Amino acid sequence: MCGIVGAVAKRNIVPVLVNGLLRLEYRGYDSAGLVVVHEGKLERVRSAGRVAELGQKSANTSGEVGIAHTRWATHGKPSERNAHPHMSRELIAVVHNGIIENYEELKAELSAQGYEFTSDTDTEVIAHLIHSHYAQGSLLVATQMALTQLVGAYAIGVIAADNPHLMVAARKGSPLLLGVGEGEHFVGSDMSALLQVTRNVVYLEEGDVVEIKADSFRIFDMAGVRVQRQMHVSELDNDSVELGKYQHYMQKEIHEQPQALANTLESVCNSQSLVPGIFGAEANDIFPHVDNILILACGTSNHAGQVARYWLEEVAGIPCNVEIASEYRYRTSVPNPKTLVVTISQSGETADTLAALNHAKATGHSYTLAICNVPESAIIRQSKLRLLTRAGPEIGVASTKAFTTQLAGLFLLTLVMAKVRGRLDETREQQFLHELRHLPTAMQKVLELEPQIAEIAAHFADKHHALFLGRGMHYPIAAEGALKLKEISYIHAEAYPAGELKHGPLALVDKDMPVVSVAPNDALLEKLKSNLQEVRARGGELFVFADADTHIHSSAGIHILQMPEHAGFLSPILHTAPLQLLAYYVALQKGTDVDKPRNLAKSVTVE
Ligand code: HGA
């Protein structure tokens, strides 16, 4: 989603702004722009193309204070005229991430006051509102006054032509970080934009407004009271957002999964037993009271939740529901105070998941647990308990290592819940710990299938549709495989529990409908084999990811890819990787923009 970078320094900050935007490109965008104060004037450069083009266009621009933006349009089509920054009467400039819900009303009022609108965005009202208050006070006060009139979500950066050493920034509902350098300060939507200049960061809190100068900053909370916020030193490594030897971030991130899993499981694997404390100190008190689990998540994270449901009910014997966060937040549900509400989000800023968490809390749920890849993200801060996946930055829009590490985290939750409920004896616990320690190695072996998967991808490149089948806890994995293919190759793909085939989708099967199946050696294998025969009998070409001991062999129209070993309950984690690789290689064949698929964005910070 939109990316914001801002800087106040005693040097030309245009290269910092452009480089910061390049680092935020992975979030997905359709246009870009920046503005600086130069000799008492706002100098704005915008481009409906890539950040590289903006870099060229702004090569001769310079200033010591500036704000920059990559836009993912929500209001007004992608175009240069709608690209941020937006300005009011050459005096005020604003960049914005989020949606102003009452912008039509405000626009009518501001138009009546004589303000002229030059874009179709909701954002432009912010610039004019601040302008309308600026005559009466400082940029800080004008911004604070304007913010009280906004309904919706925002992270903003604001500068004024007559104030060459000052920026004001604020956030509510959208993420924004303050970077603290030596004699210079920055803002960014996430850490990757700031690593080029500093590791010291303050995570602005909901409703915070900050006045930023080169040598100092002052933070005010929602009520306008000056507050101190803790400074953190980011552990992220600038190299971790470099592509290295890989062609795409997605490919790199698929291959990082063994390490990401090892990092996520590190503390547990080094210990001799599982304890609730891995989810936070309060887990010891909370877990014994929990009698059911509600998982709230979107997209890929929701698929992780669906796998966890099988684990939690079977291994821990605890009832579990999984809901799509964007639906749950608007649904009237019946709260049970003994529910553990688990939210899952890579960024921890997913607007729908955050809103679902707050909805759950408002309806009386107090036991909340976040599974997330970004420390200090909103979802982590707003939950009582947490498990951090340690996947490292995920740049590719299509989530890969974040998903498998979420699964690892959810499996830990399953085991701890099982233990708390007296369903995990010492022998079984040791057995599971052993399997978890082996997981990164097992994942490494699965990734060795890459050349074979690259070969079969050619069968998909000219197809318009594909079916994905799985059963039991592998059905959500089939759904995740279908989602990956849709996201990056634009091939329409649907997933079905294989048993559902003859209740409808079998009608679609013919030679132009490739059918991908996840075939682990589990209790449903024989049933699955019959389902595959049904496909073959209708001329459908099958691509089966089968465990080595399933004894399914390649024959005419059936392509078998043998998984190295069967991993029991952890099998869904391993079966994910070949489907990620399949989507990746099909996208390569089709020549799509793998890391930045059309219309999509990373960190979905708007509703
Ligand atoms: N509503 C603004 C900003 C959109 C946004 O935050 N996307 O992530 C616009 O449409 O320009």
CB 36 within 8 A of CB 65: yes
Cα 119 to ligand 1 centroid, rounded to whole Å:
12
Q: State the closest ligand 1 atom to the C-alpha of 96, by its place in the atom list counted from 1.
A: 3
The CATH-assigned architecture of domain 450-590 is 3-Layer(aba) Sandwich (3.40)
CATH superfamily ID and name for 249-446: Glucose-6-phosphate isomerase like protein; domain 1 (3.40.50.10490)
Ligand 1 center from residue 17 Cα (angstroms): 19
Q: List, by residue range, all CATH 3.60.20.10 domains of the chain.
A: 3-241
Are 361 and 328 in contact, with CB atoms under 8 Å apart? no
**C-alpha to C-alpha distances, 540 to 185, 416, 513, 544, nearest whole angstrom:** 59, 43, 6, 12
Q: Cis check for the bond before 578: say yes or no (omega within 30 of 0).
A: no
* Whole-number average pLDDT of the chain: 94
Ligand 1: which of 46, 69, 97 to mutate, judged by most atoms within 8 Å of the beta carbon? 97
- The one-letter amino acid at 445: K
Could you give the CA distance from residue 304 to residue 298 in angstroms, rounded to a whole number?
10
Active site residue 57: no
Q: Name the nearest CA neighbour of 198 among 7, 326, 34, 349.
A: 7
Q: Residue 273: what pLDDT?
A: 87
Could you say which of 401, 419, 484, 602 is catalytic? 602
Distance of CA 273 to the CA centre of its chain: 31
Question: Of the given ranges (117-126, 397-406, 521-530), which has the lowest mean pLDDT?
Answer: 521-530
Q: Quick one: pLDDT at residue 525?
A: 81
Q: 0.85 cut: is pTM over it?
A: no
Mean pLDDT computed over 372-388: 91
Q: Which helix (H) or strand (E) segment is 464 a member of?
A: none
Where do the CATH 3.40.50.10490 domains begin and end in the chain?
249-446, 450-590
Q: What is the pLDDT of residues 204-261, one digit of tens each?
A: 988 999 999 999 999 999 999 999 999 999 877 666 667 888 999 999 999 999 999 9
Is the confidence at residue 341, as pLDDT, over 90? yes
Q: What is the pLDDT of residue 240?
A: 66
Query: CA-CA distance, 88 to 118, in Å (whole number)?
Result: 9
Helix (H, G, I), strand (E, B) or coil at 510: coil
Protein fold of 3-241: Glutamine Phosphoribosylpyrophosphate, subunit 1, domain 1 (3.60.20)
Q: How far, in Å, CA of 219 to CA of 217, rounded? A: 7
Q: Is 401 a catalytic residue?
A: no
CA 185 to chain CA mean position, Å? 26
174 CA closest ligand 1 atom index: 6
User: Measured from the CA of 605, which atom of ligand 1 is nearest?
Assistant: 8
CA of 166 to the centre of ligand 1 (A): 24
DSSP alpha helix (H) spans, 190-248: 191-194
In the predicted model, is pLDDT for residue 96 greater than 80? yes
Question: What tokens appear for 103 in the block?
Answer: 């912008």
Residues 6+ apart with CB under 8 A from 574: 439, 442, 443, 446, 563, 567
Q: Tell me: pLDDT of 576 over 90.
A: yes
Distance 242 CA to ligand 1 centre (A): 27
pLDDT for res 430: 94
Please state, for a pLDDT cut of 90, what percent of the chain lies above it: 80
The predicted structure's pLDDT at residue 239: 63
Place 306 in a pLDDT band, splitting at 50, 70 and 90.
Answer: very high
- Per DSSP, the residues of 9-38 read -SS--HHHHHHHHHHHGGG--SEEEEEEEE
Using the mean position of ligand 1's atoms as its centre, give its distance from the Cα of residue 467 in Å: 34
Q: Match 């399933």 to its residue by tokens.
A: 550
469 pLDDT exceeds 70?
yes
Residue 79 pLDDT: 96
Q: Which atom of ligand 1 is nearest to the CA of 75?
A: 10
Question: Which residues have CB under 6 Å of ligand 1?
Answer: 1-2, 71-76, 96-99, 121-123, 605-606
Question: pLDDT tens, 154-198?
Answer: 999 999 999 999 999 999 988 899 999 999 999 999 888 999 999
Catalytic residue among 2, 298, 320, 372: 2
Average pLDDT over residues 351-379: 94
Structure tokens at 71: 């836009």
